[in-house]
Amino acid sequence: MLNKTFLIAKREFLTRIKKKSFLIMTLVSPLLILLFYGLIFYFTVNKSIGEENKKIAIIDNAQLLKQDLENTKTISFHFESDQTEKLNDLLNESFGYYAVLKIEKNEAGEMIYQLLAKDQPSIGLVSTIEDKIEAKLKDEQLQQKGIDKALLSQINNTRVNIETKKLTDNGFEEGNAGLTTAIGFVGAILIYFFIFLYGVQVMRGVIEEKTNRIVEVIVSSVKPFELMMGKISGIALVGLTQFLIWVGLVAALSGPVSGLVMQLMDVNPTEISAMSQGAGAAGTENTSKFGSLMAGLSNLNIPLIVGLFTFYFIAGYLFYGALFAAIGSAVDNETDTQQFMFPVTMPLVFSFVLAQTIVIQDPNSTLSIWLSMIPFSSPIIMMVRLPFGIPPLQIFASMAFMIAGFVFTVWFAGRIYRIGILTYGKKPSYKEIFKWLFQKN
């Protein structure tokens, strides 16, 4: 049995890695990811790129702003009298105004602000105008009360940086909540996308072989269960190989990319050296933060995180891959998979959403612990919880449940696969699939 399963896995592995699409995407994907996040970072820093300069006419009947409001890079304010032109005329091309801001008091003495524009103004534009008016009114109130604006600004810029330390067998060790959260989510996201990407490949491969009637020839010499395990294992090796190549490429590119980022951000290499040594009192606030970051990284149990990531990376895929194989065997085309995909993928999506909300707020809560024990959610939840520190008993229990869940899933999927792989022309219902579980022949 193992020999036949190995031969099928080998065939699946070699067939897929020899494809040009595999080689191209393996080499190009890290570059595309770097480019994608680089563009996000660039446009986040340079938010005004592509934004047209907008002229805003201000009709201040309440004399609130006193003919003075600070312009921005993309918005220029111009005060007009209410009698200058009709409001519609101010929005004509001859004046060049994008919108008219009208300020007046109602009968109750309350201020009324109206922004009349050619089209629906964006929320960013409205927020910017509101912030500028609020800043202007605050400055005037400070002057009236004799408060020094510079002193108040200095007070408002007061920052508090809390250093976190956790109790270990060696005493209190420094940590970093932001770094811990980031590492947990990176692992969870990788597992999440790996399961979806290669699980769907298993399903499509089964559907393709079933549609082409190749499977009828294969099962004449191989049991359906052996065929299913061979396909799942082979594609898992493809995914693991691709992931290891990506890790190698990222490691090779990390140096040049870090140097480029430091150059763009004008960071002094000597300052980075001081940061890594944790130069505290003599350093800047950024130096202290970077030193805390490096200390937190050094105190993380990296071998444990990498080892458990590898376990859940593979076990999570095998758990869901068997279900995807069962879905592929039960239908004749990919269109019919939708009704069966939903109950399989929902626990995965649900656990990812909970990881971003409940688990990240309290990684050691009762709900977080139970979610890390359930095989449907443990690959995602455990990676988020792991950097925060988990008792060994919980880790072993979660791994045991994951292995038991994989064994049950393989049995469950195998019962469906052995019959579904040879059925054609009819989309089975849930009731029929349930009967397949207990059908002897």
The pLDDT of residue 276 is: 45
**pTM of the prediction?**
0.65
How much of the chain, in percent, has pLDDT values that exceed 70? 75
The pLDDT of residue 397 is: 93
Residue/partner pairs of 193-196 with CB below 8 Å, 24 or more apart:
194/239, 194/243, 194/313, 194/316, 194/317, 195/316, 195/317, 195/320, 195/321, 195/348, 195/379, 196/345, 196/348
The pLDDT of residue 396 is: 92
The pLDDT of residue 275 is: 44
Residue of 128, 125, 51, 57 lying closest to 91 (CA atoms): 57
The pLDDT of residue 415 is: 79
Residues of the chain with confidence (pLDDT) below 50? 265-268, 271-284, 288, 290
The pLDDT of residue 280 is: 44
The pLDDT of residue 279 is: 43
List of domains in the chain? 54-156 (3.40.190.10), 180-438 (no CATH)
Q: For 129-176, how does the pLDDT look when each residue is reduced to its tens digit (9 = 90+)? A: 888 888 888 888 877 777 777 777 777 777 766 666 665 556 555 555
